[in-house]
Amino acid sequence: MKRQTSFFTLVLLIATLLSGCVEKQNVLTDQEKQDGWKLLFDGQSLKGWKNYNASGITGWSAQDGCLASSGTGGDSTGYIITDAKYDNFELAFDWKIAKEGNSGVLYHVIESKKFNTPYLTGPEYQMIDDIGFPEKVEDWQLTGADYAMHLADTSAKKLKPVGEWNTSLIIFNNGHVEHWLNGSKIVDFEAWTPEWFALKNSGKWTSAPEYGLSETGYISLQDHGSKAWFRNMKIKELPKKDKPKVALFNGVDLSNWVAYGTEKWYVQDSLLVCESGPDKGYGYLGTQQYYKDFDLIADFKQVSNGNSGIFFRSTVEGTTVSGWQVEVAPKDHDSGGVYESYGRGWLHQIPDSLENILKVGEWNTMRVKVIGSDVTTWLNGQEMTHLNDSLIGTANGRIALQIHDGGGIKVQWKNLVIQPL
């Protein structure tokens, strides 16, 4: 009987050791809990995850203590995202992929029908079969790279063979980014610097204008047509640092701005000028960067017509803008009101009693403050709009100046200063 008991004990021990994900995975120590770590995967369910741009979840499962992809995804399918958004964080996870596999972990992903795949907005920690992938792989596609941007340091990289578990860490700390692999730092860079924008605008992302701009968003896992397994996925949020005021216009040129359409944007006598061109269409001048929460002050003078505006949390494609506009318009046309460029139209028009606040043909000061879903505007020190809107609260995007269509418009701008919040 003793020999039989010992035999069954040995069998049980071997079975435990051979299981894909052994016990005591996907748990936090007391110290980790005190330090602020939270699990993104409980080891048993898909709670906290959903498909990108869809409700529910398919193509992924919880099996043997692992969050596993089915291997049926593709370039624009097979992605899941967290229920919650994250700004600054440390994200740790164990992972392995199948032979010839390809996967990745993305962050700051924007979920919107405007984007058919997360990688058009969110940077990616790349994971691939470096040696056995059946197609040619560029250095910026290899494991640990900031995909299509920053290469992994090969001298520090210690990648385990396909089928074995690796441990990775992504740190995003107020624009400072690090990738770690099996205890070694392999990527280190600063986001949104002139060097970062130069890199973004010189390669794969030239056709993805919104890539990497958001300071907040979802964590996403990729099924790129091969199986991948994740466990011990945990996140610790980091504090947001105060940011200095930024002069959006330097009085010299249009550095850090992007023009959309054929209307005229130029600098004259240290002023930023918008003027209708021969096409008499819509035109926009947007910031390179996104600004989600901010306090913005801008001076403007309506030289002729004056039908313009300040868009916020907006994206522009061609001359189609998605977002919200603080109106800058001729007298009696709601300067300081807020208009949605798609769907609902006016969210707030100013009362007639405030129309005389606009100084026609003179310099005016517009102030726009946006925090979460709360929007307040002031024109020449007078509050014009105060509203709270949940749809605005979920959005993110650029600041953009507008030229309305119709022709005959000329507006001057100066002292555009923003305080990120």
CATH number of the domain where residue 108 is located = 2.60.120.560
For residues 62-67, average pLDDT: 97
- Both 37 and 62 in a single domain? yes
Domain boundary among 237, 255, 272: 237
**Least trusted range by pLDDT, from 11-20, 91-100, 218-227, 257-266:** 11-20
Q: Residues near 18 by Cβ (< 8 Å), separated by ≥ 6?
A: none
Q: Read off the pLDDT of residues 213-250 as tens digits, 9 standing for 90 and up.
A: 999 999 999 999 999 999 999 999 999 999 999 999 99
- Both 210 and 285 in a single domain? no
- Both 207 and 306 in a single domain? no
Residue 16: inside a domain: no
- Both 149 and 284 in a single domain? no
Confidence band of 400 (pLDDT split at 50, 70, 90): very high
Question: Is the pLDDT score of 19 beyond 60?
Answer: no
For residues 127-148, average pLDDT: 96
Question: Is the pLDDT score of 2 beyond 80?
Answer: no
- Both 250 and 211 in a single domain? no
Q: Read off the pLDDT of residues 270-285 as tens digits, 9 standing for 90 and up.
A: 999 999 999 999 999 9
Mean pLDDT of the chain: 94
pTM: 0.91
Domain boundary among 217, 237, 257: 237
- Both 216 and 259 in a single domain? no
Q: How many domains does the chain have?
A: 2
Question: Is the pLDDT score of 31 beyond 70?
Answer: yes
Q: Give percent of the chain above pLDDT 90.
A: 92
Residue 191: inside a domain: yes
Residue 6: inside a domain: no
Residue 78: inside a domain: yes
Residue 76: inside a domain: yes
Q: Which residues pair with 264 in a beta bridge?
A: 275
Q: Give percent of the chain above pLDDT 70.
A: 95
Question: Is the pLDDT score of 355 beyond 50?
Answer: yes
Residue 55 confidence (pLDDT)? 93
- Both 288 and 355 in a single domain? yes
Residue 2: inside a domain: no
Confidence band of 75 (pLDDT split at 50, 70, 90): confident
- Both 60 and 183 in a single domain? yes
Question: Is the pLDDT score of 17 beyond 90?
Answer: no
Range of the domain at 340: 246-420
Question: Is the pLDDT score of 268 beyond 60?
Answer: yes
For residues 314-318, average pLDDT: 93
Residue 145 confidence (pLDDT)? 98
For residues 381-405, average pLDDT: 97
Q: Read off the pLDDT of residues 359-371 as tens digits, 9 standing for 90 and up.
A: 999 999 999 999 9
**Least trusted range by pLDDT, from 15-19, 283-287, 324-328:** 15-19
- Both 209 and 327 in a single domain? no
- Both 211 and 255 in a single domain? no
- Both 229 and 274 in a single domain? no
For residues 46-71, average pLDDT: 97
Domain boundary among 188, 212, 237: 237
Residue 110 confidence (pLDDT)? 97
- Both 261 and 130 in a single domain? no
Residue 41 confidence (pLDDT)? 98
Residue 23 confidence (pLDDT)? 58
